[in-house]
Amino acid sequence: MSGRLYVIGTGPGNPAQTTPEALSAVADAQEFYGYGPYLDRLTLRGDQIRHVSDNREELDRAKVALQRAAAGVNVCVVSGGDPGVFAMAAAVCEAIDHGPAEWRGVDLVVVPGITAMLAVAARIGAPLGHDFCAISLSDNLKPWPLIERRLRAVAEAGLVIALYNPISKARPWQLGKAFDIVRAILPADTAIIFGRAAGRPDERMTVARLADAQASQADMATCVIIGSAETRVIAREGRPDLVYTPRFIREEAK
Amino acid sequence: MSGRLYVIGTGPGNPAQTTPEALSAVADAQEFYGYGPYLDRLTLRGDQIRHVSDNREELDRAKVALQRAAAGVNVCVVSGGDPGVFAMAAAVCEAIDHGPAEWRGVDLVVVPGITAMLAVAARIGAPLGHDFCAISLSDNLKPWPLIERRLRAVAEAGLVIALYNPISKARPWQLGKAFDIVRAILPADTAIIFGRAAGRPDERMTVARLADAQASQADMATCVIIGSAETRVIAREGRPDLVYTPRFIREEAK
C-alpha cells in the first residue's frame, strides 16, 4: 500500500509562523527530504530520518520522495515559505506527470505556508494591498528575454511586483537589469522594499527609492518588492516608515 | 501611552492553518474588530470584547481601531486569509496616512496569514508554481476598464492569475467578462480552478477547461485561479486531478 507524501512549507523561518497543519504532517512522516537549512527548522524524533540535498536538485529529490512513498513510507518534502510558490510542490507534480503510473496513486498532501512576500509585506505595512504579482528572477528555469517582457508588462499594468530569487553568485546582474527595466516605466520615487530574512533573528528591512535602489542591497535571503506608482510611504517619528498600496484607484490611470 | 494594534489574518478558515503568531496576538488583545464570520473563527476569553462590522466598512473599522489603540487599548483587527492581500492592513495604513499625527505613534503589528490562493493551490497541486499574479475583481475600488487592461496584460505575459472577490450580488457579470477576455488570449483547454472555502467543511474544488468555465461556478467564498498556457492537468485514477504549472519554460514563448 502506498504511503503518504506530504509537501510542506515551514514559512519564512520564524517558528511562530509555521502552521499546526505543517507540524501535524511532520509528526506523521518517517522520512524527510529537503534543503538542509529548511530541514534544520524542524524538530524531529530519533526515529525520523533526514535526507539532505542541495537546493538545486529539486526534481531528483521529488523522484526519490515519490519512490519512497510508493514503497509505503510516509514521506515529508520540506520547503521554506510556501511549497507551492517557486518551490517543491511543482517539482513533485512534474515528477508525477512524467513518472511511473504508480506515482499517481500516491496520497499527495500539499500543506501551504506563509510565503516570503507575505511575511515581508507584513513587516513593512501593506505593499501588497492592491493587485500584485510574484516573479522569479531565476533564469535557469526560463529565458531571460521572457522575464524582461513580463517585468515590463506588469509594471505598465500597475501591479506591485514581488521578486523571488533576486540574486545569487550564479545570477549577479539580473536584479540590476530588472531595476533598469522598471525605471523606464515607474516614477523615480517608487518604493522598493528589500525584505531580508523576515521574522528571523537576522531580519533586515530596507526601503529605497527606485532611483537609488542597488542590486547589492539584496542577497539570496531577500524578497524584493517593487511598488507601483500608487504605493505610498508614511514617515513615522521613532518608528520605521510604513509602505502600503491603497486598495482603490479613483481615476483611470494614464 | 499608546496601545498595540495587531492586524492579523486567520488563514482561510481551517484552524490548523492559523499560525501561532496570530494566536499570540489574539491572546494579547482586549478588543477585536472585524467582519463577523472572521471574528467567529476566534476563541475569545470573557474579558475580550468583539466589535462586529460589515465587510464593506473597512476604513471606518480601521479608524475606530486606531482610535482605541491610540487611547491605550491593545486592539486586534481581524481579516480572513492574509491581512495584507485585499484586506485590512491596507485600510489601516490608509487611515494612518490621512489621520491625526498620534496614529503614527501607534505600535502597529501586522501578522501574516495563509491567503486563499495558497490554500486553494495546495489542495489542487501546484498551479502557482511559476510566475503568477493576484487581481481583485472588485470594481468599487478601481475602474473596470483598468481591470480589463490588467487581465489582458498578465494573460499575454504568461502569468497564472488568481482572482479575488470574483463575484457577488453587487458584481454579477465581472467574472464572466474576465473569462471572455482571457478566452481571446489563452488556449481553450487552459485549466480554470474554482477553489471554494479551502480547508473548511464546505470546501469544493472544481477544475474546468477555459472554454467551458462558467461564472456561476464561483461564489463569494471562491478564489478562481486561471492557469497559463503552460499549466498542466494530471489525471489520476480514483483521485482528483492534479493541476500544476511547471517551474521552467524551455523555449522562448511566442
Q: What is the pLDDT of residues B55-97, one digit of tens each?
A: 778 999 999 999 999 999 999 999 999 999 999 999 999 999 9
Confidence at residue B163, expressed as pLDDT on a 0 to 100 scale: 98
Q: Could you tell me if residue A251 is inside a domain?
A: no
Q: Provide the residue range defining the domain that includes B44.
A: 4-110
Closest residue by Cα to residue B243 from A100, A110, A114: A110
Closest residue by Cα to residue B156 from B124, B123, B184: B184
Rg (CA), chain B: 20
> What is Dmax (Cα atoms) for chain A?
62
Domain final residue, candidates A93, A110, A127? A110
Q: ∠ CA B38-B119-B221 to the nearest 5 degrees?
A: 50
Q: Could you tell me if residue A249 is inside a domain?
A: no
Cβ–Cβ gap B246/A145 under 8 Å? no
Q: Do A33 and A128 belong together in one domain?
A: no
Q: Could you tell me if residue B251 is inside a domain?
A: no
Q: At B55, which CATH number?
A: 3.40.1010.10
Cβ burial, residue A112 (10 Å; 0-12/13-18/19+): buried
Q: Do A100 and A178 belong together in one domain?
A: no
Confidence at residue A253, expressed as pLDDT on a 0 to 100 scale: 47
Cα dihedral value A229, A237, B86, A81, nearest 10: 100
Confidence at residue B252, expressed as pLDDT on a 0 to 100 scale: 53
A contact test, residue of B4, B18, B21 with most A CBs within 10 A: B21
C-alpha cell at B179: 473569462
Closest residue by Cα to residue B84 from A117, A195, A21: A117
Q: Could you tell me if residue A64 is inside a domain?
A: yes
Question: First-to-last CA distance in chain B?
Answer: 60
Q: Could you tell me if residue A252 is inside a domain?
A: no
Closest residue by Cα to residue A75 from A39, A49, A112, A44: A49
Cα dihedral value A62, A65, A69, A74, nearest 10: -120
Cβ–Cβ gap A126/B90 under 8 Å? yes
Q: Does A5 touch chain B (CB under 8 A)?
A: no
CB contact at 8 A, B175 and B203: no
Q: Report which secondary-structure segment, H or E, holds B162.
A: strand B160-164
C-alpha cell at B246: 511547471
Domain final residue, candidates A90, A110, A130? A110
Closest residue by Cα to residue A77 from A104, A100, A44, A109: A109
| pLDDT tens-digit series, residues A5-59 | 999 999 999 999 999 999 999 999 999 999 999 999 999 999 999 999 887 789 9
Q: Does B123 touch chain A (CB under 8 A)?
A: yes
Chain A closest-CA separation from residue B205 CA (Å): 14
Cβ–Cβ gap B234/A96 under 8 Å? yes
Nearest CB to A16 within list B24, B141, B156: B24
Q: Do B177 and B217 belong together in one domain?
A: yes
Q: How many domains does chain A have?
A: 2
Q: Could you tell me if residue B249 is inside a domain?
A: no
Q: Do A130 and A232 belong together in one domain?
A: yes
Q: ∠ CA A71-A75-A78 to the nearest 5 degrees?
A: 145
Chain A residues with CB under 8 Å of B253 CB are 146
Q: Could you tell me if residue A57 is inside a domain?
A: yes
Nearest CB to B234 within list A97, A119, A129: A97
List alpha helices for A29-128, DSSP H: 36-39, 58-70, 88-98, 116-124
Q: Do A87 and A170 belong together in one domain?
A: no
Q: Does A66 touch chain B (CB under 8 A)?
A: no
Nearest residue in B to A124, CA atom:
B110
Confidence at residue A251, expressed as pLDDT on a 0 to 100 scale: 63
Q: Does B254 touch chain A (CB under 8 A)?
A: no
Q: Do B121 and B226 belong together in one domain?
A: yes
Confidence at residue A252, expressed as pLDDT on a 0 to 100 scale: 53
Residue B229 binned pLDDT confidence (cut-offs 50, 70, 90) = very high
Nearest residue in B to A17, CA atom:
B19
Q: Which A residues in the span 138-157 are in contact with B, Cβ-Cβ below 8 Å?
A: 141-143, 145-146, 149-150, 153-154, 156-157
Confidence at residue A90, expressed as pLDDT on a 0 to 100 scale: 98
Q: Do A47 and A68 belong together in one domain?
A: yes
Chain A residues with CB under 8 Å of B151 CB are none
Q: Do B102 and B126 belong together in one domain?
A: no
Confidence at residue A86, expressed as pLDDT on a 0 to 100 scale: 96
Q: Over chain A, what is the mean pLDDT?
A: 96
Cβ–Cβ gap B94/A246 under 8 Å? yes
Chain A residues with CB under 8 Å of B185 CB are none
Q: Do A106 and A124 belong together in one domain?
A: no
DSSP letter (8 states) at residue B106: S
Query: Within chain A, which residues score under 50 in pLDDT?
Result: 253-254
Task: Tell me how far apart the alpha carbons of residues B149 and A157 are, in angstroms, rounded to a whole number.
Answer: 7
Q: Do B173 and B195 belong together in one domain?
A: yes
Cβ–Cβ gap A114/B110 under 8 Å? no
Cβ–Cβ gap A85/B154 under 8 Å? no
Q: Could you tell me if residue B215 is inside a domain?
A: yes
Q: Do B236 and B154 belong together in one domain?
A: yes
Domain final residue, candidates A110, A134, A167? A110
Nearest CB to A247 within list B141, B145, B252: B141
Cα dihedral value A101, A105, A111, A116, nearest 10: 0
Q: Does A93 touch chain B (CB under 8 A)?
A: yes
Task: Tell me how far apart the alpha carbons of residues B221 and B254 are, in angstroms, rounded to a whole number.
Answer: 36
Q: Which A residues in the span 172-201 are in contact with B, Cβ-Cβ below 8 Å?
A: none
Q: Do B106 and B132 belong together in one domain?
A: no
Cβ–Cβ gap A17/B21 under 8 Å? yes
Model ipTM value:
0.97
Q: A45-54 contacts: CB < 8 A, separation 24 or more?
A: none
Q: Does B31 touch chain A (CB under 8 A)?
A: no
A contact test, residue of B128, B232, B254 with most A CBs within 10 A: B128
Q: Does A86 touch chain B (CB under 8 A)?
A: yes
Question: First-to-last CA distance in chain A?
Answer: 60
Nearest CB to B96 within list A123, A234, A246: A234
Chain A residues with CB under 8 Å of B108 CB are 242
Task: Tell me how far apart the alpha carbons of residues B141 and B135 are, in angstroms, rounded to a whole number.
Answer: 12
Q: Does A241 touch chain B (CB under 8 A)?
A: no
Cβ–Cβ gap A131/B134 under 8 Å? yes
| pLDDT tens-digit series, residues B185-207 | 999 999 999 999 999 999 999 99
Task: Tell me how far apart the alpha carbons of residues A75 and A79 are, in angstroms, rounded to a whole number.
Answer: 13
Contacts of A254 (CB under 8 A, 6+ apart): none
Q: Which pairing describes strands B191-196 and B222-226: parallel, antiparallel, or unpaired?
A: antiparallel
CB contact at 8 A, B198 and B10: no
Residue B7 binned pLDDT confidence (cut-offs 50, 70, 90) = very high
Q: Does A254 touch chain B (CB under 8 A)?
A: no
Task: Tell me how far apart the alpha carbons of residues B7 and B84 are, in angstroms, rounded to a whole number.
Answer: 9
Q: At B221, which CATH number?
A: 3.30.950.10
0.95 exceeded by pTM: yes
